[in-house]
Amino acid sequence: MHELYLVESVLNIVQDYAVKQEFKKVNSIVLSFGRLSCIDPKSLQFAFEVQAKETPAENAALQFKILPAVIHCFSCGRDLELDIYEGTCPRCKGEEVMLVGGTEELQIIEMDVD
């Protein structure tokens, strides 16, 4: 349910830019976050549709750039992208791994506006 708060912050930032750059309508917003950051795109989309009403971002399309979960495995020496993080290397089953990507926080990358 943190998506509600995240969307509120997104809309505050959009509003700031709308005033500063004098645009009236947002067509699309590109957001990025790590796959393991516990952010659910569907909840984000739903929260956005509800909260963007009567703001410049109403009906804007959200695009998500989901950054992959990546581990470095010290046993086989590889960097690997994962869907699910289980604390082991999916290739060699090594247990000496380090998470190097996937927990990036939510960012607004760019907007298309009129």
Partner 1 sequence: MKVTVVKNVLAANDRIAAENRALFDKNGVYVINLMSSPGAGKTTLVEKTILALQNRYRIAVIEGDIQDTYDADRIAALNIPVVQINTGGACHIDGNMIRESLPAFDLALIDLLICENVGNLVCPAEFKIGENAKVMILSAPEGADKPAKYPLIFQESSVMVINKIDLFPYVDFDLAKAKRDALSINKELQIFEVSCKTGAGLDDWIKWLTDRIDDFKKPRV
Q: Which residues bind partner 1 (CB under 8 A)?
A: 1-2, 5-6, 9-10, 12-13, 17, 21, 23, 31, 36-38, 71, 85-87, 95-99, 102-103, 105-114
3-state secondary structure of 51: helix
Q: What amino acid occupies position 37?
A: S
- Strand-pair category, 26-34 with 79-82: unpaired
Closest CA to 85 of 105, 66, 101: 101
Nearer CB in complex with partner 1: 58/105:
105
> Least CB distance from residue 30 to partner 1, whole Å?
9
Nearer CB in complex with partner 1: 21/54:
21
- Helix axes 2-21 and 41-51, enclosed angle (nearest 10): 50
> Least CB distance from residue 86 to partner 1, whole Å?
5
User: Which run of H or of E encompasses 21?
Assistant: helix 2-21
Nearer CB in complex with partner 1: 59/107:
107
Distance of alpha carbon 83 from alpha carbon 74, whole angstroms: 19
> Least CB distance from residue 93 to partner 1, whole Å?
13
> Least CB distance from residue 54 to partner 1, whole Å?
21
